[in-house]
Chain A
Amino acid sequence: MRRKLLCVAMTLSLGAAMTSQANTLRMAEASDIASLDPYSVTESNTLGFLHHIYEPLVRYNADLKLEPALATSWELVEPNVWRFELREGVSFHNGNSLNADDVVASIHRAIDPNAPIRVNVPTVVDARKVGEMSVEIVLSTADPLLLNYLTNVYIFDKEWMTENNALNAIDLRKGEENYATTHANGTGPFQLESRQPDAKTVLAVNPRWWDTPQHNLTRIEFTPISSDATRVAALLSGEIDLMYPAPLQDVKRIDSTAGVKVLQAPSLRTIMFGMDQRDDQLHDSDIKDRNPLKDARVRKALYQAINMELIHKKVMRGNSRNSALVVAPEVPGYDAALNQRFPFDPEAAKALLADAGYPNGFRVGLDCTNDRYVNDEEICQAVVSMWARVGIRANLTAQSKGNHFQKMLGGGSDIYMFGWATLPMLDTFSALTGFLATPADKLGTWNPGGYSNARIDSLIDQISGELDEPKRRAMLAETLEIARDEVAVIPLHQQPLSWGIRDGITLPQTPDDKPRLWYAKVN
């Protein structure tokens, strides 16, 4: 009898193993997701992965266009009140069905002043139930970007949160644990099977998903592999099916191996140099009586002295997209007509410097990361030698992101490298408020250089409440044009995404660097 049972058990487990092997996608990324609670982080890799388990009211499709998810339709009741009709027949992984109470409780959890995700929904002040399947979201002011914001607010089950005392997101300041950090219950195409932090997170397909699956996966195994060489080796040896980022220096090697390839495309992230235009004297310069970077001619000279074609070809190996604007083409507000770089021209740069009163150039500090952007340190080294040719002696400090951003945001840098993907907002407005606005309160938090233009500031004010989309786009374009012409920052390029992938897997490569595996097919 015992033996018989054992046999049955073995066949069962064998059977389970066979089906689970059937369409498993094994994915590796450089770092693990920080938490299973989408309200406790703002990191895009964590939010991107958790989108497989949890879903928002509206989501982006594979072309980064908004589409209905848990809400089927919405309308403006008042300029600052939106009404959402919820999808019928959606159930959470624990079997509870979605209703207005869940959405209200979720929004309240997200807008709690201590919830880390609060910053992603800045204008939302309340949510209220107006029917069993309809909810109103109240804003502090008219906001054309509400839908963009909501793509990052994943909906929880109220009963589940209440049962497990997780109605509030974790507050690190209190030093308490939160049930949702280690457990998950969403409505998404996949449900959590197991998780070992820094080792493996396994998702199984959700058979009751409300949407018609375009994928054919039954399981996702997510493994963080932080060492580049190991991640490449794991792909080459067939232990994983998809990995990102694929290190640029290994792209050729992966492509030349049978059975695997690299998908590459420019991402949303624009890499730029910001410049100190606020202080009367630079921190690391031989010009002591004034700040040369306040002069737009000097900034333009720095711009024109950089040979972006060379960086594109040599440093980025042809995989970046040079840009004159601070946002990528996929970002609403981008205007192709404006995307004209000032030409690379060392002679013109020298003339501009002489014109501004620096015929022999000057010394300046340049701060870069060495572990944040694709080839960040190499780009800066190349720029240093290009600037040297027009007499700018840049003193390069390349350091880890923690130190770099501390120095930069503290206003201690002369010229600093930073990247902007406009995420999570996915709109040009993010760049405006982030680093083109004059620093004040919530504006210009990434503008330690203190670039300031009154016209841009007044446009930002108008854009923030403009609900007429064509008008809004026109104003966005105007700010981009001003910033370009004044050389508010020196835009370089959109850095590439590169995903290593096994042959036989099809997956759209979305420029926000979030693999959406509900579009993945394994054969």
Chain B
Amino acid sequence: MLSFLIRRLGQSLLVMLAVALLAFSMFRYVGDPVTNMLSQDASVEEREQLRESLGLSEPLYVQFSTFVVQAAQGDFGISYRNQRPVSELIAERMPATLELVAVAFIISLLVGVPMGVYSALKPHSWLSHVFQTLSLIGISLPTFVTGILLILTFSVTLNWLPSFGRGEVVSIGWWSTGLLTASGLKSLILPGIMLGLFQVTLIMRLVRAEMMEVLRTDYIRFARARGLSNRAVNFGHALKNTLMPVITIIGLQLGAMIAFAIITETVFQWPGMGFLFIQAVSFVDIPVMSAYLLLVSLIFVVINMIVDMLYFMLDPRLCADRGTANSH
């Protein structure tokens, strides 16, 4: 177990280094930050000077190693656009993204699981067909279109919900939350739905498929033969066994939601990390871009590691395999 963990940690570090290197080699194609930082009247020398002192004229590997060394010490530099420390900017935006993802996640669970269970139990009812069709639409519509449609319907036409921003936020220490005010909660609904919609359809389809599989197994038939109530069979035995693979997948999806909240955040002007990243890209704000990409790879690496370790604990066969065959 320990050797596995150490090996995993080593691999994770390598992955993160690779991500950082990839990111760095891409930055040169995003454009020249110096043009954005200086006014039109700045002379060629002034541009060169600034580029020089920001270390942008250094060869790629020098820039990269400087970044890695500083990042290892927790120093991500100062944003070119916002002119504040990058770590501070990210810490300031993180609550917004995490709250949005949490809400979207809860929505997708609360809606997706019951829909999946229902359409597994009654695969031929008309409501199941409706769910199936809806999930197809949910999967095939691009998220920004759903976002705009939601805004048009609920903000412009009905005037019920705000079309942008987080509403009023309350600060608890460094964490700013929109969960404690009415306008904050209202602001969470539309982006939460937009971000959660794809997950709803995914979870629904996953639960449905897994549950239909489980319902065909012998122990379910046996349980029914024993005369257990439908409720006990469906929810006590079938659903419980269905959820194992579902939890794995949605655990991984959580990372994806944090990383890909970018589109939702852009459409709803949500002041989160993804929005920070998009703005950084258009300004060629290299310190912010590199820190964000590193953070996202960290999130994925951590989640993957947790999932791996969970497997280890849940499935003793993995240990046995490794002991005999020593394969990976």
Contact = CB atoms under 8 A, between A and B. Distances in A.
Nearest to B263: A227
Interface in B117-172: 148, 151-152, 155-156, 159, 162-166, 169
A120 B41 contact: yes
Contacts of B166: 199
A114 to B, nearest CB: 9
A35 B81 CA distance: 8
B230 interface: no
B192 interface: no
B36 A233 contact: no
A442 B152 CA distance: 50
B196 interface: no
Contacts of B33: 402
A156 interface: no
A177 B78 contact: yes
Given A119-B42, A409-B35, A445-B43, A233 B83 contact: no
A434 to B, nearest CB: 6
Contacts of B31: 400-406
B29 interface: yes
B286 to A, nearest CB: 11
B284 interface: yes
A196 B42 contact: no
B46 interface: yes
A230 interface: yes
A421 to B, nearest CB: 9
B165 A31 contact: no
A398 interface: no
B156 A237 contact: yes
B44 interface: yes
B282 A199 contact: no
B70 to A, nearest CB: 10
Contact of A199 (B54, B151, B163, B271): B271
Contacts of A227: 266-267, 269
A24 B50 CA distance: 41
A110 interface: no
Given A177-B78, A198-B276, A223-B269, A237 B41 contact: no
A173 B81 contact: no
Contacts of B169: 196
A423 to B, nearest CB: 8
Contact of A198 (B54, B162, B271): B271
B284 A434 contact: no
B43 A226 contact: no
Given A198-B276, A227-B269, A446 B83 contact: no
Interface string B247-279: 000000000000000000011110100011011
A230 B207 CA distance: 34
A483 B214 CA distance: 80
Contacts of B42: 119, 445
Contacts of A224: 269
Interface residues of B, number: 57
A223 B32 contact: no
A234 B39 contact: no
B95 to A, nearest CB: 11
A119 B37 CA distance: 12
A402 B164 contact: no
B106 interface: no
A233 B40 contact: no
A235 to B, nearest CB: 9
Nearest to A37: B83
B83 A178 contact: yes
Contact of A230 (B30, B37, B80, B269): B269
Interface in A213-250: 223-227, 229-231, 233-234, 236-239
Given A119-B46, A233-B152, A196 B163 contact: no
Nearest to B268: A230
A229 B151 contact: yes
Contacts of B271: 196-199
A420 B40 CA distance: 9
Interface string A402-415: 11111001000000
A4 B145 CA distance: 51
A441 interface: yes
Contacts of A35: 82-83
Interface in B21-78: 29-33, 35-47, 50, 53-54, 77-78
B221 interface: no
Interface in A153-186: 170, 172-173, 175-178, 181-182
A438 interface: no
A402 B155 contact: no
Contact of B41 (A177, A200, A400, A433): A433
Contacts of B148: 229-230, 233
Given A119-B38, A433-B41, A371 B282 contact: yes
Contact of A173 (B29, B54, B82, B269): B54
Contact of A181 (B44, B83, B156): B83
Contacts of B44: 439, 445
Given A230-B269, A371-B282, A434-B41, A225 B164 contact: yes
A131 to B, nearest CB: 33
Contact of B35 (A177, A229, A405): A405
B83 A430 contact: no
A327 to B, nearest CB: 14
A237 B30 contact: no
A466 B279 CA distance: 43
Contact of B78 (A172, A225, A405): A172
A34 interface: yes
Contact of A175 (B39, B77, B163, B282): B77
B224 interface: no
Nearest to A122: B41
B240 interface: no
B35 A402 contact: yes
B41 A172 contact: no
Contacts of B159: 237-238
Contacts of A173: 50, 53-54
A406 B151 contact: no
A304 B42 CA distance: 33
Nearest to A182: B84
17 contacts: A35-B82, A35-B83, A42-B39, A119-B38, A172-B37, A173-B50, A177-B78, A196-B271, A197-B84, A197-B271, A199-B165, A229-B148, A229-B267, A237-B163, A402-B283, A403-B31, A445-B44
Given A34-B83, A35-B82, A177-B78, 9 more contacts: A116-B37, A178-B83, A198-B271, A199-B165, A224-B269, A233-B155, A404-B31, A406-B31, A409-B32
Interface of B: 29-33, 35-47, 50, 53-54, 77-78, 80-85, 89, 92-93, 148, 151-152, 155-156, 159, 162-166, 169, 176, 266-269, 271, 275-276, 278-279, 282-284
